[in-house]
Amino acid sequence: MNLDARRYVILAFILMVGVLYTSRLFYMQVVDDQWVLRAQEIAEKRWEITPPRGVLFDRMGKKIVSNRTYYNLMMIEAEIHDLDTAKFAKLIGWTREEVRNRFKEIVRGEGTYYNKNTGKRTANYQKIRAYPFMKELTLEEVARIAPHLDNFKGFHEEVTSMRSYPYANGANIVGYLSEVSQEEIDEDHFYKPGDNIGKAGLERFYEKELRGRKGIRYIVTSAMNNAIESYADGKYDTSALQGPPLKLGVDIQLQAYGEKLLKGKRGCIVAIEPSTGEILALVSSPSYDPNLMIGKRNISMYYPKLLLDPNTPLLPRPLASEYPPGSTFKLLNSLIALQEGVITPEFGAPCNKSVVGCHNHASAGNLADAIKHSCNPYYYAVMRRIVQQNRKKSVFADAEVGLSRWVDYMKSFGLGHTLETDITGLRPGRIPDVAFYDKWYGHHRWAFSTIRSISIGQGEVTITPLQMANVAAIIANKGWYYTPHFVKAIGANGPLPEYRKKHYSKIDTQYYDIVIEGMRRVVYEPGGTGRRALLKDIVICGKTGTVQNPHGEDHSTFIAFAPMDKPKIAIAVFIENAKGGGGLWAAPTASLMIEKYLKRKITEKEREKTIIDAVFSYMR
């Protein structure tokens, strides 16, 4: 037996292991990159720091949406020892069952993670990590709990920021925040489960501005999930940046006053500054206190109630309710007829009640008086002249041409399509066109007599209160408008570019003077339908409307602007199912709003009291 040769066996054995290990190390460290990913999973964490949301100011610089500190009660399971569930449940005011279920819910809520490398499915939940056990506690609530937390190892409080609305007004303007849905997370990787997102109103429209920029810190963490140090000395870190403050055109005091006026009534008020298109107030009644919609707990408590309320407080009426405009529409038909040259300002027509009902007044001998009296037969005559211009032999073909021309004018007033206002929930309203009637009655099977109700703003026409207010603004401006908008400044910048672009109506300026004179007479001349809007030292130009509708009493509506020269406010008031016409409810409401805005005080105390005290039967 050659024992000396055995040294080679041993040498070969050692060298073989050396070669084997070297090749394995080469494979692991150089060839295969799964270990790098695994190491990153283990040690490198991405920490997101959510900045407080941008805040909102009104036109006077009052903070109307701010952030408030709230607290989450956090839990780290690994640090919990011998938890006295009964005592703990008592402390936080839950039942033991609820405490136990909450633990399960947290674990389930984290979901599972599928590792492609190992083919294993593991729970994301980690015992060593902190999870919110109770969310969104107020300072008062946490002050009651926190002193006793020493007895419950593994629980601690953590600061979080949530919305606060110092003025409980304008809920339908600002909207609310709520937790992101899975679809929203999939769509935009900015969000993580549990993040908040604007769900309605300005919070939603300006979400990208308000949310700011998340700060990202890459850190190396320990097995206990403690941060040890910045990854690569913070080279890749970004700091959190709060969203810019938004300055609104809204006057929160005017808004609050409007909400006060409409208490007990369903309806809307929209006030616009004609020279800028800034919305001064947008009242939707009934409304709700936006502070009810802060945080998951509140939302789950109040949202269902608000949703089921028959008077629909969550509906932003001024944006989404499409009402027939009623007699306010006559202003537009007047302008179109003048522009088309089918009438002159001196055009007169008898108040022939056999065609359509009207109230008792002297026949209008000119356009301004027709507006003052809001004479229905007069506007039938006007509308007939617009629609049937005798350009075609067939009455049907003729109506088609006339209506098309009419529709073009209406569109130039921002009607029949959604305004590009900076809020969500807008509806377009409807200006019936040729295609619409063809669909209803058939091609060439309708003429003026079929569609005549549009001449007085009834029938197929619908427009939203926001559009109505915009019409008032167009008349105040004598032919142009900026798209109504809420936000006049984003941080140091002005409004969005689309609100710096003037839109023109297809009506020449001189025709507005005639209509405006009519609107003055509505308020200031005996026999005018809007006498109750009269103010002593402000000249209001307005137009009433009494809208017949299938839901009950007539709607009361009024559009106006003031003062007559250099208008500062254009307004539309719409009160649903008010007993009495536009002159009775909407006109005085509008005048109070105008006085409030322009004078900051109310002289017509009696008028104010009547409106505020009125509570309609459907609200009881």
Partner 1 sequence: MRKGDSLVAHMDWALFATYIVMLIIGMATVYSVAYNEDHPNIYEYSEKYGKQLVWLGISLFLGLMVFLIDSDIYRKFSVPIYLFTLFLLVIVLFTPKINGARAWLGIGSMGVQPAEFAKIGTALLLARFISTVNVKQQNIQTVLIANAIILMPMVLILLQPDAGTFVVFTSFLFVMYREGITYDPLILRVINRIPGIRFKSTWVGGHFIPILFVVIMLSVVTLLMSNEVLEFSFLPNVKVPGFYSVVATLLLISLLFLIFLRVVSARRERGRATLVVILGFSMAAGLSSVVNYGFQGLRSHQKDRIELFLGMKEDPNGKDYNRNRAMAAVGSGGFLGKGYREASVSSVRSNHVPESETDFIFCPFAEEWGFAGTFILVALYMFMLVRIIIIAERQRAVFNRVYAYTVAMILFYHFAINIGMNIGFAPVIGIPLPFFSYGGSSMMSFSVMMFILLKLDSQRRDVLQ
- Amino acid found at 213: R
Comparison of 20 and 307: residue with beta carbon closer to partner 1: 20
Residue closer to partner 1 by CB (options 6, 501) is 6
Kindly state the tokens that stand for 341.
């040259």
Strand, helix or coil at 326? Answer: helix
Cα gap 58→273, rounded to integer Å = 14
Residue among 7 and 189 whose Cβ is closer to partner 1: 7
The CB-of-249 to partner 1 minimum distance in angstroms stands at 52
Q: Does residue 425 come out as left (phi exceeding 0), alpha (psi in the -120 to 50 range) or beta?
A: left
Q: Which is nearer to partner 1, 23 or 603 (CB)?
A: 23
Q: How far is the CB of 52 from partner 1 (least distance, A)?
A: 32
Q: How far apart are CA 80 and CA 89, in angstroms?
A: 15
Closer to partner 1 by CB, 219 or 240: give it.
219
Shortest distance in whole angstroms from residue 121 CB to partner 1: 13
Peptide bond into 274 cis (omega under 30): no
- Supply the minimum distance, in Å, between the C-beta of residue 219 and partner 1: 10
Q: Are strands 487-490 and 552-562 parallel, antiparallel or unpaired?
A: unpaired
Q: Would you say 28 or 143 has its CB closer to partner 1?
A: 28
CA distance linking residue 414 with residue 407, whole number of Å: 11
Nearest to 131 by CA among 72, 195, 86: 72
Q: How far is the CB of 46 from partner 1 (least distance, A)?
A: 14
Nearer of residues 2 and 360 to partner 1, judged by Cβ: 2
- Shortest distance in whole angstroms from residue 48 CB to partner 1: 20
Least CB distance from residue 203 to partner 1, whole Å?
40
Q: Which is nearer to partner 1, 13 or 440 (CB)?
A: 13
Q: Which two tokens stand for residue 359?
A: 């109230």
The Cα–Cα gap between 295 and 132 comes to 14
Output the smallest distance, CB 286 to partner 1, in A.
58
**3-class state of residue 66 by DSSP:** strand
Beta bridge partners of 399: none
Nearer to partner 1, 23 or 510 (CB): 23
**CA separation for the pair 469, 327 (Å, rounded):** 14
Nearer to partner 1, 25 or 435 (CB): 25
Q: Which residues bind partner 1 (CB under 8 A)?
A: 1, 3-4, 6-7, 9-36, 38-40, 42-44, 220-224, 228, 231
Find the DSSP H helices in 78-179: 85-92, 96-109, 139-145, 171-174
Q: Is residue 600 a contact partner of residue 543, using CB atoms and an 8 Å limit?
A: no
CB of 235 to partner 1, least distance (A): 13
Cβ-contact 227, 569 below 8 angstroms: no
Q: At what angle do helices 252-261 and 586-599 cross, to 10 degrees?
A: 150
Nearer of residues 31 and 492 to partner 1, judged by Cβ: 31
Distance (Å, whole) CA 326 – CA 572: 12
What phi and psi values does residue 33 have, to the nearest 5 degrees?
Answer: -100, 5
Helical H segments across 285-422, by residue range: 295-308, 317-320, 330-340, 367-373, 376-387, 395-412
Shortest Cβ 223–partner 1 spacing (Å):
4
d(CA 561, CA 591): 9
Closer to partner 1 at the Cβ: 6 or 297?
6
> Cβ distance 379 to 385 under 8 Å?
no
To partner 1, the closest distance from the beta carbon of 100 in angstroms equals 25
Rounded CA-CA distance 526/521 in Å is 8
State how far the Cα of 503 lies from the Cα of 499, in Å rounded to an integer: 10
Q: Which of 136, 207, 154, 143 is nearest to 177 (CA)?
A: 207
As measured in angstroms, the least distance from the Cβ of 236 to partner 1 is: 14
